Chains A and B, each alone.
Chain A
Amino acid sequence: MGRIVLENVTKSFGETQVIPPLNLTIEDGEFAVFVGPSGCGKSTLLRLIAGLEETTSGQILIDGEDATQIPPSKRGLAMVFQSYALYPHMTVRKNIAFPLRMAKMDQSEIDKKVEGAAKILNLADYLEQKPGQLSGGQRQRVAIGRAIVREPAAFLFDEPLSNLDAALRVGMRLEISELHNRLETTMIYVTHDQVEAMTMANKIVVLRAGHIEQVGSPLDLYRTPRNLFVAGFIGSPKMNFIEGPEAEKHGAKTIGVRPEHITVSADTGPWSGRVGVSEHLGSDTFFHIHDTGLAETITVRADGEVGFKHGDTVHLTPRADVIHRFDAEGLRIA
């Protein structure tokens, strides 16, 4: 079981408050992702839950029990670090068995669990090797193995994939999601990568400067971002923001249109501009359109077969039903 509740939690380093009073509930079995730009306090928040940082004020409840003063070793949570943090002097087997050995479990029981975890994570052939002999992806799997054998109340992941190359990252992303489906244990995952957040989470927590900007499912955040920050942060390529007369037409200070919600054509459309850089992904092409009189650049996501060239004049049509409107404070207008 792993329901984690933060009540008015704050964290200060000396005089600087990095987490202002914050409330958050993560339900049992949820895959929650903390996402935000670097320095937004997402790792600090995770470390507060882990107990690796002392909470300045407020309460952290794990399954209804006040864990605020409980040391990390007694909270029953497992953590996977960005640097893997394997014990370099121990073999893979000993690394995975370590938390069980510390819990004074029977050797036969330990062996069984280690073998089981190794099988799930494709590590069976590497059990007698030292971490130094493994690749980055394998090391991260060992770190995950060390976490799962303990059957923790919740898993905490601190940017676990940032040290891996792009291809491996996609693979590991799937493996972790798969693991979550299989174990149904609460997972809290910290990342600065909104793609990881969107693809893995049940619940995304968008943070900026220690504040929670919005909490919701990936599609909630995509469809109804609460403010400009969330609107700009979630979605790739980034949402286009348009101010001025065009926005006023919609009764807003700023309007936002996602690149995938604009149609590009050679002859018809209310907006027009000149094609700058085109990014061809094969399936899709991102056109960066200039001289529209709306914003410096309007990004459009079109089918990969659409073939405009640099300098071509094109017309744009936004989809009227998915124009996001924001007021002068940057908040969404319902």
Chain B
Amino acid sequence: MAIVATTTKFSIYGRPVLAWIVGLIFFFPIFWLVLTSFKTDADAVKPEFLFFFTPTLDNYLNMTENYDYWRFATNSVITSVFATVFALAVGIPCAYAMAFNPSRATKDVLMWMLSTKMLPAAAVLYPMTFITKSIGLFDTHFMVILVLMLINLPIVIWMLFTYFKEIPKDIIEAGQMDGVSTWGEVKEILIPLAWGGIASTALLCFIFCWNEAYWTVRLTTTEAATLSKLIEGNRAPEGLFFGRLSAVSAAAVGPIVVLGWFCQKQLVQGLTFGAVK
């Protein structure tokens, strides 16, 4: 049966309106966060100042002057970048092997990798903390990078595997016949062909690393602490200072939102898993 494009009133007016409503619902928390970050702590909790208030930059100034925002931000960048690079360095060969030389165990290995994501992180919190402290890696960049890389590895490998699977095996075999070494196959054929997939995997991995809070908060104190830790650190015993907290949060999510904005297309491809070739 032929698919006939129907133009209904809903498709002309309804869909855009619905899309805007959904968009606004998703955007509202960010909007509120940014708005609140320009209020004083006192104004932030008063409903009458919801939209109309005297904006102030104090929260941001306070954050950079008193909380060493840049150190946390630098740590976030370092740990996310390195964790992503290492995850790809391990994930690409791994996904390559499984995609082009599958064995009977390949499916099970993939499932097992995914199953590690089903483990509640809290279940290994105590051993992890204990081990990192006893081997002297607590609050080090190395440990944070290692943990970020490991927790994201399953999803990185799954995504890369899906992309690599789309490359015809003939092309890899043609490479072998043309005298390419294994490393050459990866460098000359696989990476150029799967470039879009690798980029979106890297981007998603970077975002997950940046947003990770559970482990970064628990395995660091000051040296390797990331922006997640900075946000968490703004809980004061006296209560929550919403203005200050909002400014810290906005500054933490800001870079990743900007990055996501510029890489929208890649991201959509990454999330629709191999649907785009």
Contact = CB atoms under 8 A, between A and B. Distances in A.
Interface of A: 50-52, 71-74, 77-79, 81-83, 85-89, 98-99, 102-103, 143, 146, 150, 156
A103 B179 contact: yes
**Which 6 residue pairs across A and B have the least CB separation, nearest first?**
A85-B170, A85-B174, A99-B178, A72-B176, A79-B177, A73-B179
A52 B180 contact: no
Interface of B: 168, 170-171, 173-181, 184, 188-189, 192-193
Contacts of A98: 178, 188
Nearest to A81: B170
Given A72-B173, A81-B173, A89 B181 contact: no
13 contacts: A73-B178, A73-B179, A77-B177, A78-B178, A79-B173, A79-B177, A81-B170, A83-B170, A85-B171, A86-B171, A99-B179, A146-B174, A156-B177
A143 to B, nearest CB: 8
Given A52-B173, A83-B170, A73 B189 contact: no
Secondary structure dominating the interface of B: helix
A88 B193 contact: yes
Contact of B181 (A73, A78, A88): A73
B180 A73 contact: yes
A81 B184 contact: no
Contacts of A86: 171, 174
A163 to B, nearest CB: 12
A51 B177 CA distance: 9
A83 B174 CA distance: 10
Given A89-B192, A89-B193, A79 B174 contact: yes
A81 B193 contact: no
Contacts, number: 60
Most B CB within 10 A of own CB, among A50, A77, A82, A98: A98
Nearest to B104: A14
A78 B179 CA distance: 9
B178 A102 contact: yes
Contacts of A143: 174
Given A52-B173, A89-B193, A150 B178 contact: yes
A80 B182 CA distance: 20
Contacts of B176: 51-52, 71-73
A156 to B, nearest CB: 8
Nearest to B177: A79
Contacts of A102: 178-180, 184, 188
A85 B193 CA distance: 13
Contacts of B179: 73-74, 99, 102-103, 150
Most B CB within 10 A of own CB, among A77, A78, A81, A156: A81
Contacts of A50: 177
Contacts of B184: 102
Contacts of B189: 87
Nearest to B185: A73
Nearest to B172: A85
A134 to B, nearest CB: 16
Contacts of B171: 85-88
Most A CB within 10 A of own CB, among B174, B181, B188: B174
Most A CB within 10 A of own CB, among B179, B180, B192: B179
Contacts of A103: 179
Contacts of B188: 98, 102
Nearest to A102: B179
B165 to A, nearest CB: 16
A102 B178 CA distance: 8
Given A52-B173, A87-B189, 8 more contacts: A72-B176, A73-B177, A73-B180, A81-B173, A86-B174, A102-B184, A103-B179, A146-B178
Contacts of B180: 73, 102
